[in-house]
Structures are given as C-alpha cells and as structure tokens.
Structure 1
Amino acid sequence: MAVEKVMKRDGRIVPFDKERIKWAIQRAMLEVGIRDEKLLNRVVRRVVKRVNELYDGQVPHIENIQDIVELELMRVGLFDVAKAYILYRKKKAEIREEKKKILNKDKLDEIDKRFSINALRVLASRYLIKNEKGEIIESPRELFERVAILAVIPDLLYDERVFNREGNHEQDLSKVEKYMEKLDEYDRKLSIGRFKLNKYHFKRFLNLYRELAQKGQMKVSIDEVIGMLENGAFDKYEDEIEEYFHLMTSQTFMPNTPALINSGRPLGMLSACFVVPIEDDMESIMKAAHDVAMIQKMGGGTGLNFSKLRPEGDLVGTTTGAASGPVSFMHLIDAVSDVIKQGGVRRGANMGILEVWHPDIEKFIHAKEKNIGTNVLSNFNISVGIWADFWEALREGKRYPLINPRTGEKVKEIDPKSLLEELAFMAWAKADPGVIFFDVINKRNVLEPAKGEKIRATNPCGEEPLYDYESCNLASINLAKFVKYDKEGTPYFDWDKYAYVIQKVAKYLDNAIDINKFPLPEIDYNTKLTRRIGVGMMGLADALFKLGIAYNSEEGFAFMRKANEYLTFYAYKYSVEAAKKRGPFPLYEKTRYKDGELPVEGYYHREIWTLPWDELVEEIKKYGVRNGMVTTCPPTGSVSMIADTSSGIEPIFALVYKKSVTVGEFYYVDPVFEAELKKRGLWNDEILRKISDNYGSVQGLEEIPEDIQRVFVTSMDIHWLDHILAQANIQLWLTDSASKTINMPNDATVEDVKAAYLLAYKLGCKGITVYRDGSLSVQVYSVEGEKKQRIKSKPSAYAVEKLKTVVEAEPWLAKFINVEGILNGTNGKEKKEAPSLSFSLNVPKAVKPETHEHPHHREPPEIPEEKIKELLGVTYCPVCYEKDGKLVELKMESGCATCPICSWSKCVIS
C-alpha cells in the first residue's frame, strides 16, 4: 500500500509529495554539477519505492524519508551528491535552530519556515510585538493575521445588508460610545470565521461605523451589526482575510512599514507619507513643528515646503527686527525629529523643499555643507523645487528673478546657469539636494481644479507629491513572484495573476483609508477628500533576472513600461468598481476626471498602449473613481527584505557580498543568481570570492559566461543614462512618482550631474536624486593599485539613441549636455581629474562663474581620522555600528541613505 501522508517536524500531517523529494535531490545534484534528468528520475523512483516498502500504509516522519534519500543516493554510487544532500540537511537544521533563536520559540510553524533568516531578523527587530523586557511575544503568523483582519473590517460595514451609499438613515451614535467604553470586554470575543478581533480591531470597527452613520449610510444600528458579527453573518469574509494573509505570507505583496507595525495595535496609524503646510508666521511655524512631532511619533514621514517663509534678513513687522529665514526653521524641525525615536531605531524623516525663485535658494542649496562633525540636518532630505520659468531663463540665457514671498517683489536677479552649477556641485559632493520638477508633477494633475492650487510638496523620498495635510498608504507587489516556468523550463510572466493581485492590493489600500487612525484631524479630513492610494512594486531586478532580461536593455525598459501600465490600469479597475458600490472620492465632480483626463502621461501616447485605456476612461466618466491617485513606486528597504526580494524598482546593489556575523563571515548571494550558478555548474567558494572582490559584480570575470554578465547587472554596472531611462519609462504609467537613485561612478563630474538633471526633466521624470559612488564616505580613497578598479559601465544602445534624440530635438541643450563627452567618458574632465577624496566636508562656496574654474577641481583638505566617528548616523548605519562595533557604510537606494546589511533607512516608508 502506497504512503499517502507524512509527518512534518511541527507534528502536522500533510500529503506525501514526491515532487519535494525530486526537488531536494535535484538541488544536491546541481550542487556538484550533475544535470541528468533520467538519473534524477531513477533515484526518485527508488526512494519512493523504498518509502512504500518500509512504511506500508503508515505515516513516516520527514526525517525518515530524508534518511532513505541519503541511503539510496549512496546505493547508486552518487557519493558526492549524497554528501551535498547531507550538508544541505545539516545547513537546514542549523537554519531552523537560528530561526528559533530569532523568534524566541521552541517550535517553528510553516509560516516561520517560509521566511529567510534575514527576513525574520528584520521582522524581529522592528515589527513583531515585544514585552516590556524586549522579548518577542508575537509570531510572524500572528503579525500577518492582525494586519489581514484589520484590512477586511471595512468590507463588513460596506456590506449591502448594512450599507446604503445614498445616505438617508439615522442611527443613535450614543450607543457607539458605550461600546467604546467596553473595548476590553470585547477583546477577542468577536470573530470573522476563525479570526478573532482584538480590542484595537474592534475600536477601528466602531470608529468606521460612526463615520458612515454620520453620513447616514448605515442602514442598521450598531447593536444589530454587532449581533450579526456574533451570529456569524459576516463569516463569509473569512476567505478574504485568508487571501490577504496568504498574499503577505507568500511574500507576494507587503504593506508599508507603519501598517505592518500598527495594524491591530494601539497607535493604529497605517500611512507612511504626509505633507505639512508651513506659512509665514510664528503660529504656523510652531504648529508645523507640533504636527511633525505627532506624525513622526506614530511612525510617519513628513514633507514641508518652506517657500512661503520670508528670506533671511527681511523685515519682521511685529518687532521691526530681521527674519531668520527658511533654513533656520529647517533646523527647528530637524531638532524636533531628532528627539522623536521611532521604535528605538529609526529617526524621523523629512523632505525639506525650497522653490528655485526664493531669495534664500543659494543658502538652501548649501544647507548641508558644514564643517566635519556637525551632523547637520541629518533628519532631512532636501530638494530644490524647479518650475518651467527657470528652464526657460536657462534656455534663453536670461537672468532669473528671485522673489520675496512676503511682498511678491523681485529682490534680485541671478544667473540660472550659475545656480544650476552650484546645485549640481552639491549633489555631486553630498547626494543632496535632489531636484523636484513641479511643472511635470502638475502637468497632468487632474485634482488641481478641485483643490484650487498646484501641488508643491512631496513625502521624504519624493515618490508621493501631496497637497497640504494629505497622506498616502503604500503597498508593494513582488514582481518576482509572477515569473513562472512552462514544461520546458522556459520562464514567462503571469500577467493575468498580476492583474488580479493589483486589484486586491488596491482594495487593501482603499480599505486602509477607512480603518486608519490618522495622527491629526486635518489629515483625516484632507486624505478622505481625495482617497489617494499608492500601489507600488518591488522585486523588479529579481524578476528581470528570472526572465533573462537585462535591466539596461530595450527589452528591460519595455517590461518596466508594461509592468507599470498594468499596475495603474488594474488599480483603476478596482477603483471604478469600488466607486460603483461605495461612491467616488468626494472631490471627484470638481476634477478633470469627468472630462476624460487621467494623471498618467502614458495615456496620452496611444502608440505605447497594451491595454484598452479608452474603455477605462469611459467607465470612469460613467461611474467615477474611488481614489484620486492610485500608483507610485516607493523605496522598500525593510519590506523587500521581509519579502526576500530586490528593493523597489532598483537594480541590486551587489550579486555577492561578504557579511559579518557573530560566528564569522559568509558570502551573501542573491538567490536568483545563486540558482543560476548552480544550474550552470559554476557554484564554488572561489567564484564567490572573485565576485565579492569585484564589487559584487560579474562584469569582466572570464569564468562567467557572457549571457550571465549581460543579464545579471548591479546598480554600478548600469550607466547613469540607463538609470534615468528606467525611471522615465516607469514614470510614464504612474499617477504619482517613483523613488529611484541615479547611480554615478566615483569619477563622474558636475557636468554629468547637470546633464542628468536636464535629461530627467526632458524625459518626463517628476524629480531626480543623483548619487555619485562614495560621496557619502568620509574615508580617504585607497591609493591606486591597492584596490581592483571597477569595470566602467557603458550606456546601452537604446540610451545612446534617446540621448541623441533629446538633444537634437532642442539644440540649446547642447550647451549643457555634451553628448560625445558623456558617451566617451570625458564629460567635464578636460581640465583636471576630480579629487581622489570622495568629497570635501567644508568645501567653500562655488567659485563665481567668471573665474571659469569648476568647484570640483579643488584639492580636498585631509580629514583627521579622529573626526570620523563624529559623523555616525549620517555616513554609517547607526544600527549595525552599535550592534557589531563596526563601521557599516550607508549606500544610496531609492533616493535615500540605506544600510546594505540591515536595511536601516532614513525613509520611514521602507
């Protein structure tokens, strides 16, 4: 009698699956370079036969079956394979023990096993609930259950049995308050199928009931609704909770960090992105400081535009004194952020914006340029907001007026070319400021008529342009999970499953608006006027690896376009269906949606459509849309580590790197790359060492086949032109923006940065963050010969064509974009090589243009070694430094300084 069941280590009885045996033996065979399907099948048949003989009709333990596999491998003479299998078993046992330590538990369940050690470490350090002693008291299963339960609570209250969108019902809301007073009594007493609501779930349930009842949309009393819950009337929604739970635990999508931390917990705040207004009076400035504190206390990040503040030295009417200017008030906000620790690990994150016409713009550009050891504005990313008139002045060679926001009068005129030079120099030197293109952001802004003004601010990482007191909930879909394989082993992308998941995630985020506990009433009100959501993606690099497509190729850019076209199209598909049942967002009738417009540039280029956009627009005009904006591409540092995939829309930082832990050092290898090496019989310690020593890149290594070198590219293998094109192709199909770093090599020039700004603008990006390799470092660059030189990246043929097309279309750009210099690597290097130090920490102000000397040609001062530690928290990861006593240098990813080891980031979203 054949064996049908097997016992797992946690005591569960599951179906006997010979495919799992086959997979394990195949893995061991690949480990030693054996690729023989017939031999593999023969061994599997022997193992299955032996299991059936020994355990006739019984239930063997998983360990028994693994013992049989070892014996059968040796019986057929596959001793090397048997050894590899034994070592793999040993490694798996060690991994299980390590996971138990991390999670503080004696036995692992199937959810614990799905996540890597890295993923569990991230969950344990930031997300799982701890007691007062700092001990973990929540499992990953419990975390994802509390998130999934909260996500489905709105479905109950929008059920047609209790909800009427017309709004003509009256209910006694005093009863809601009585339930609010008895939250503890209802803790885990109410259920949706097998899922029990804790008191924080119940509180958000009551809150949403009250809100809908105030609009007259609740057909039944709160007593009746709770009675329905008690009687199982809502148990059909158990399947919906199960589905969200499965989507998260299968690592198919992850909500943003605040949602994972706060769902079903006291704070209850699920949003990541906020914008706080700041007006030109002390009351507003202090209110902004208060609002930032409230938002960051709950785990959010804030964006502020300081352009309404009068310039430094301007008249203060009440005292006839002199104003201190926007930069001084940035220091005030920075100090507030500094004292608000989030989870004991993360500081507050801010985006500080000043528009290019402000009289203090030069002071702002140099705001972070201070002497070593000052740790200045460490809680700020800063960006210059540029409008079309600045580019027009640059094109025409005219001087550009700076305007006092208090009086509206011109203070002085500047040379726009000189200002661009200073801006590019500081970005070259310190990766700050970034640049935001406000005219591009507002070009397709369908909300402008309803809000009565243009958008003038973004969240800390720039991917969410927001109105004052608006917020956004974000979630990222793991693209790598949709790469499947046909019977021949050929990879393909499952577009239908992707479309389905997009709609589920859009619904999750729409529900999150209803169930969210916002940090301020103004944010609650303004967020619900537009109901903006941010469906995003991660795992792009891993998906391309699996598909065998190079990131920096025409095929790669086509995939990016299609993936984002689907993202926005199907997020809107959900939003239209939700509008039919629940109603469109409140400002819909005042927007340009009803005129058939969309906030999506790709919609206006019919030749690149792969989906029926005209049909979608007709649906929107007929039924409205539930969410004012629907898609974005945020940074995903921590959540992509939980999902065991590559971060956001970025290429990977390194294919192989050496990682230090308490018991020694080991090589961390990208999982997709590891599988490819093993499939080709190339896996060994020597090749891993070579790749690690080659900056984690396979470029130029003779042992690595050309097709692997072409596909498996890292962020520094990709030319900065191709980075910009990736962002531009992705931006085409987003309603909001994308957080991405434009990586440049250490020897890139200020001229390269200037060219990058203009190209990004002309290609339709909404902003740009440039990072020159090593510009966060304060350590002296190694002398030549001591360190292997990187293989220089070259632009793709597609990038070369686009560069030439852009410049030929507008000949004036040739004054700022040296096409030949960019292509042959000499751009801006005609006079003298850039200094070998990454950057000078007390560089003087940029030399005036008439001297014809580029500021980056100066020799840097020597940095005293004892000063290095003073920069902790800016240049080095504060977590890894404190934990291991080692300086772990931050890298730039998705527009934010990020730790490559533990994923600590200045951006709270990730």
Structure 2
Amino acid sequence: MNSPPISANALQVLEKRYLIKGEDGKVIETPDQMFRRVARNVAAVNDHYHDRKRAEEEEKFYRAMRDLEFLPNSPTLMNAGTDLQQLSACFVVPIDDSIESIYTAVKQAALIHQTGGGAGFSFSRLRPAGDAVKSTGGIASGPVSFMKVFDAATEAIKQGGRRRGANMGILRVDHPDVERFISAKEESGALTNFNISVAVTDEFMEKAGKGEDYDLVNPRTDKVSRTVSAPYILERMATSAWNTGDPGAIFIDAVNRSNPTPGLGDIEATNPCGEVPLLPFEACNLGSINLDRMFGDDSAELDMDKLARTVDLGVRFLDNVIDANRFPLEETRAVVLGNRKIGLGVMGFADMLARMRVRYGSKRSLEIAENLIVFIKDKAEKASGDIARSRGDFPNISKSIFKGPRRNATVLSIAPTGTISMIASCSSGIEPYYAIAYTKNVLGGQRLMEVNPHFVSAAVKGGFYSEELMRKLTTSLSVQGLDEVPKEAKDAFVTAHDIEVEEQVDVQAVFQKHVDNAVSKTINLPESSSWKDVLRAYQYAHSKKCKGITVYREGSRQGQVLTALGSISLCPHCGQPMRAEEGAMQCESCG
C-alpha cells in the first residue's frame, strides 16, 4: 500500500499544533520531518539496552507513522526530540483533605498542562460543603468550589496554546456533595476545562435497581451523613447528562477488579477521557493503530500479518517512550517507571466495518470486534513478554497480578483519538461515523470540514454518486432516509444516531472484555432523546461490565465538537468541501 498523502485538514492541524516553529512563529518543520524526529528520539532508547538495533528500529517507527499506520498520542508527536520532551498524554494527581494538598495539586496540574498533558482528579477525599474546619473554626466550601480553582488555573495555562487544558473530575457516589457535583456544569460556562464523572459502585447500582436508599458518608469522619434514594440520584445523573453532556459514570468497582497492581493500592481516578484508570501520580503513554491502513489495496479483508507486525511495533514504541520521557513531576517518574503502563489501541474501526460492508452494532460487527481485539491482545501481551525477556519485568511486578515475564502492567487502551485520527484521515477510535459530512471544531474555534471518502468512493463505484446527493449530505446526520442510497450502503455507512443505545454499548463492552485499561466511547443520542434513554445507557453499560460510560445528546453542549456541515459547496470530483479563494471556489483536496 502506498504512503497516503497528508490531507489539507490534517496539515492545518499539524501546522497549528504539532510542527516545530521558529522564533518568529513560522513553521520550520514538515510532517515527514516530524515523523523522523519522533522516530529518532524514541528509537535512541535502544542504545541503553543494546538488545535492538537503533537505526533499524528508527526506520520502522518512521515508516509506520509516515504511512499513518500507527500514531502515538499528541504530546509524543509534539515534544519528542525537543527541549520539552514530555511525552505522556494523561496523568492522575491525588488530592487530600487539606488546603496544602489542594493547592499543591493545582501547581502539579499546571505543570502537567504546560507540557501538553491532561489530568484526572478524585475529589472524593475532600470534606463536604458546610463541614467543620477545625483549624479556623470556619466551614468547608466543598469539592465543587475547589474544582473551580482548578478550572481557572487550567484556563490560565491553556497548555501553551498547543493543547487546551483537559481535566477529569471524579466524585464518589456516596460523597455527601454528590448532588452538587452532578449539577456542577448545568450553569452556563461552568467548569469548561473539565469532564466530570461520578464514581459509581456496584452496591449503588444494585440499590438503584431495587428502588432502595443508600448512605452518604463524610470522608473526614467516615460517618454516615444522611441517607438518600439511589434511584433519585441515578435519575439526577441522567437528567443532568441529558441536559449538558455531564456527568458520565465510572464503574469504580469494575475498575478495581481489574487493577493490575493491587499491592500498590486502589484506583480512584482516570485520565480526562476515561480510558486509562491510574494510580496517584501515575501517567500513561498511548498510541493507536489505524485499522483503515491494515487492508491490502482494494481489499475488504484485514491483512492479519501486517496487523500483527504493527501491534508488535506499537508495544515496542510505547515501551521505549517510557524511557525517553521527561516527567514534569518526580513522583510521576517513580510510579511510571515502576509499572511501565502503556495503552495501545485502535482507530478507524468504523472505516474497517464500512470496507467490509458490515453494519456497526450488528451481531456480525460484534463478532468482528471481538476477534480483532483478542488478536491484538494476544500479540501485545506476547510483545510485552518478549521485551521483558531482554530488558526485564516491570519493577513492581511482585505487587501485581502477574507472575512474568511481563514488561508492562497494562498494554491496551481504546482512546478517543480525536486529533490523531484527523491526522491519519480515519474514523475516531471505535466510534461509529457521526455523519457522512460534518464539521469538526478544533484549534480554538476553527471549523474543519470533513466528508467521508469511503462513502464517496462507494457512491462512485456503486453508480449512485451525484452532486445532489452530496448536497443533501451536508444537512443530514444520516443516509437512511435518502432513497438514492442502496440498502447495502445504508448499512455500511450507518451513523451514530441510527444506532440504538444498546448496540453502541455492546460494541464498547466487547472491546472492554479484552482491554486491560478502559475504553473511551461516547454513546451518541439524537436531540429528541429523553433523559430515560440516558438512564437506560447507564444501566445497560453497568450490566455489560463496562468500566465507564459517557452519553451525549445532540445539541446539549454549547460548542460541541462535531456538527452537520450546513449549506456548503462540495467538489464534484472528490466530494470534499470547497472554499472560497480569490473569488472562486477551490477544492481543499484537489487544489
């Protein structure tokens, strides 16, 4: 398969955020040079171990990125081989119940954001609002008020303008301030740099199902504060998520049942998108395989040998990143080098199903998903074992569930891949298509227009392509009502709002069954959905043993990332968006 060109939209993203700039602010690096810079920096780790050839592996890393077959998380692309050299995407910063701890955490988060990382926090240890403050004789303001401090600090940093600050705020469902937390983002403009999720226990979900009450416990005294209705709290979560997109749910007992290092303590928080549960101060390095590039030319079947080679490469790349990394916090360095967690995942899953002409969410798609992730898991664990034989097990293996050989406490994670999937010109993570034609809001409000190239190709080959059809796509989130689109294409190019809640959760659950970290997946609902649909998603996701759930109803959040294109012009040759230039319409792809 030939190396794909970098799309016009991808080039805009790269120039804005990733490529090195000179002192005058002008870009002085090409995408090819960026891939070479990253490959050289990550492969240089081999010189320390003397078990793999540096130049040979650099070339493999470079070609995999150049050919858009594998891409690491954004901080690695941005910072590898630069003075910054902070390569991790996600961190968890602990917060204890004292002013000193809270403001130390604010500082630590600022350092993380400044270097391009995102941070997750559990606020569950903080005493509730109105509780006593013995040292001053005053009363506590509670977790939500301090979250606003973190939010303001994040807004001030804005990660140097390259990656906007991203946080995850988590509060246990049995914290006395849980209702205040659930509604924290209902006020317009509140906590704009936070995703929030309630850490939900199995006991709570069981009581909610039975219509029972449960206890809220003051974390300062460990005494019951009051008793509330579990169904009421779950319904409050659902109505708030219906209204604003938050909160999500983290099924915290499921997270800790698969904690790979229980001897180091429980997990309380995750990264900003929920796909990596982490211990205090822990960080993780992520990378994703582009499934759309795992096919032979014009083939409808995966090249399994190529996929196996790419999994092996991805694990070796990400393990090297741990050693190449320059951590913003010394505490992070210690725990990361002790556990050596990595998170290899996939993007382009919807593209893969479209190539195979399989409907997303169907029984066949679930079979394909399970076979895929089992194959990737087996190859990733083998690669981790192979590395351990030459470089050693991760140091904390004696406190883990493993007996060895094992280089990494975790190996898999399914990330949302929002920006790197744009660079790779593929669908995001394991998400279904949002629409066939849409805009993506990135880069501080810039709107980048996208039209699905697989649909355009299928329409041309199938003889149903027309300019009129492409115009219709610009105002529709679905092809299901378009008579000119044949049934096979309607199934292959099903979009998020065509897929039932249970079908979307089923896809997430199949991947989660074999992923040792977690799975980022948004359950998309049409604007007409009710809060009961959100409630149904929570309950079903818990029953399917997911580790978390995020539900988003169309239009419920101001400035949502993806929207329908609206009335624009599309190129009659390739179906991609046109732009006005010097009084004429020019295609962004054809030129």
- TM-score, normalised with respect to structure 1: 0.60
Among residues 311, 314, 331, which one is paired with 2:128 in the alignment?
A: 311
Partner of 1:774: 555
C-alpha contact (below 8 Å) 2:95/2:121 kept by paired residues: yes
The structure with the greater share of residues assigned to helix is: 1
| Equivalent residue, structure 2, for 1:694 | 476
Partner of 1:349: 166
Deviations 1:804-859 (A, max 9, x none): xxxxxxxxxxxxxxxxxxxxxxxxxxxxxxxxxxxxxxxxxxxxxxxxxxxxxxxx
CA distance in 2, matches of 1:492, 1:510: 29
Does 2:106 match 1:324? no
Measured after TM superposition, the shift of residue 700 of structure 1 is 2.0
Q: 1:511 aligns with which of 320, 324, 328?
A: 320
* Cα distance in 2, alignment partners of residues 151 and 752 from structure 1: 45
The alignment status of 1:437 with 2:266, answered yes or no, reads no
Aligned residues: 563
Q: Does 1:289 align with 2:106?
A: yes
Identity, % of aligned positions: 43
1:369-408 deviation per Cα after TM superposition (whole angstroms, max 9, x unaligned): 22x4xx1111110000011221232244332111110111
Contact 1:658 1:692 in 2 (8 A): no
CA deviations over 1:766-791 (Å, ceiling 9, x no partner): 000011112125xxxxxxxxxxxxxx
Which residue type is aligned with residue 145 of structure 1?
Answer: R
Task: Return the alpha-carbon distance in structure 2 between the equivalents of residues 359 and 702 of structure 1.
Answer: 54
1:414 aligns with 2:195: no
The residue identity in structure 2 corresponding to 1:687 is: L
State yes or no: 1:126 paired with 2:17: yes
- Secondary structure of the corresponding residue to residue 36 of structure 2: helix
- Residues 667-678 of structure 1 aligned to structure 2 (within 5 Å): 668-678=450-460
**Residue 502 (structure 1) aligned with residue 311 (structure 2):** yes
AA aligned opposite 2:340: R
Kindly name which structure, 1 or 2, has the bigger radius of gyration based on alpha carbons: 1
User: Does the CA-based 8 Å contact 1:568-1:735 persist in structure 2?
Assistant: no
CA–CA distance in 1 between the matches of 2:524 and 2:77? Answer: 30
User: Of residues 700, 709, 720 in structure 1, which corresponds to 2:501?
Assistant: 720
1:414 deviates by 0.4
> Is residue 679 of structure 1 aligned with residue 461 of structure 2?
yes
Q: Which residue of structure 2 lines up, in the alignment, with residue 743 of structure 1?
A: 524
* Aligned match of 2:93: 276
2: CA distance, partners of 1:748 / 1:658 = 22
The residue identity in structure 1 corresponding to 2:272 is P
Residues 422-473 of structure 1: CA deviation (Å, up to 9, x unaligned):
111000110101100001111222311x21x221100000000000000000
Partner amino acid for 1:689? R
The amino acid of 1:480's aligned partner reads D
1:855-895, Cα deviation, whole Å (9 max, x unpaired): xxxxxxxxxxxxxxxxxxxx2679x9xxxxx9x9xxxxxxx
| 1:842 aligned partner | none
What is the CA deviation profile of residues 742-797 of structure 1, one whole-angstrom value per residue up to 9, with x for unaligned ones? 011212112221111111001011000011112125xxxxxxxxxxxxxxxxxxxx
Runs (5+) with no aligned partner, structure 1: 1-19, 21-109, 161-233, 595-619, 778-874, 881-885, 889-899, 902-910
**Structure number with higher relative contact order (C-alpha < 8 Å, ≥ 6 residues apart):** 2
Residue of structure 2 in register with 1:240 after alignment: 57
Deviations 1:616-670 (A, max 9, x none): xxxx4xxx2000001001111111111111111111121134899xxxx998421
Contact 2:17–2:163 (CA under 8 A) maintained in structure 1 = no
- Partner residue, 1:733: 514
Would the aligned equivalents of 2:435 and 2:476 in 1 still touch at CA under 8 Å?
no
AA aligned to 2:455 is: F
* CA shift in 2, pair 1:627/1:705, >3 Å: same
| Structure 2 residue matching 1:353: 3-state secondary structure | strand
User: Aligned ranges for residues 96-495 of structure 1 at < 5 Å?
Assistant: 114-159=5-50, 236-344=53-161, 346-370=163-187, 372=188, 375-448=189-262, 450-451=263-264, 453-484=265-296, 491-495=300-304
| Other-structure match for 1:844 | none
Q: Is the 8 A contact 1:289 1:333 kept in 2?
A: yes
Give the Cα separation in 2 of the matches to 1:635 and 1:121: 20
Contact 1:463 1:737 in 2 (8 A): yes
1:496 Cα shift? Answer: 1.9
In structure 2, do the counterparts of structure 1 residues 641 and 877 end up closer, same or farther at CA, with 3 Å as the change threshold?
closer
The answer to whether the 8 A contact 1:126-1:343 is kept is no
Aligned to 2:574: none
- Confirm whether residue 529 of structure 1 aligns to residue 420 of structure 2: no
The 3 A distance-change label for structure 1 pair 322 and 490 is closer
CA distance in 2 between counterparts of 1:345 and 1:148 reads 21
Verify the 8 A CA contact 1:535 1:567 in the aligned structure 2. no
Name the aligned partner's letter for residue 198 of structure 2. Answer: V
1:643 aligns with 424
The amino acid of 1:681's aligned partner reads G
Describe the SS at the equivalent of 1:309: coil
Contact (CA 8 Å) 2:95, 2:125: kept in 1 or not? yes
Kindly provide the amino acid, as one letter, of the partner of residue 208 in structure 2: L
The alignment partner of 1:537 has SS state of strand
For residues 546 and 252 of structure 1, what CA distance do their matches in structure 2 show?
A: 16
CA contact (8 A) 1:310 1:326 kept: yes
SS, match of residue 362 in structure 1: helix
Letter in 1 for 2:199: G
Distance 1:658 1:284 in 2: 41
Does the aligned pair in 1 maintain the 2:437–2:452 contact within 8 Å? Answer: yes
Q: How many Å apart are 1:263 and its aligned residue? A: 0.4
Deviations 1:543-587 (A, max 9, x none): 111111111211111111122112221111111011111110111
- 1:27-71 Cα deviation digits (max 9, x unpaired): xxxxxxxxxxxxxxxxxxxxxxxxxxxxxxxxxxxxxxxxxxxxx
Cα separation, 2, equivalents of 1:877 and 1:464: 22
Question: Partners in 2 of 1:877 and 1:543 — Cα distance?
Answer: 23
Deviation at 1:150, TM superposition (A): 1.0
Partner Cα separation in structure 2 for residue 355 and residue 426 of structure 1: 17
Cα 1:283–1:668 shift into 2, 3 Å: closer
SS of residue in 1 equivalent to 2:170: strand
- Say if 2:96 and 2:126, in contact at 8 Å, map to a contact too: yes
Answering whether residue 413 of structure 2 is matched by residue 632 of structure 1, we say yes
C-alpha change, 1:707 and 1:273, in structure 2 (3 Å) is same
- Letter paired with 1:152: A
Match of 2:366 in 1: 557
Equivalent positions of 1:802-813 (< 5 A) are none
Preserved contact between residue 313 and residue 323 of structure 1 (Cα < 8 Å): yes
Deviation per CA, 1:181-213: give whole Å up to 9, x if none: xxxxxxxxxxxxxxxxxxxxxxxxxxxxxxxxx
Matched to 1:471, the amino acid is A
CA RMSD, aligned part only? 2.4
CA distance in 2, matches of 1:322, 1:666: 48
**How far apart in 1 are the matches of 2:399 and 2:163?**
40
The SS at the match of 2:355 is: helix
Separation of aligned partners in 2, 1:419 and 1:523: 35
Higher strand share: 2
**Gap change, CA 1:388 and 1:638, over 3 Å in 2:** same
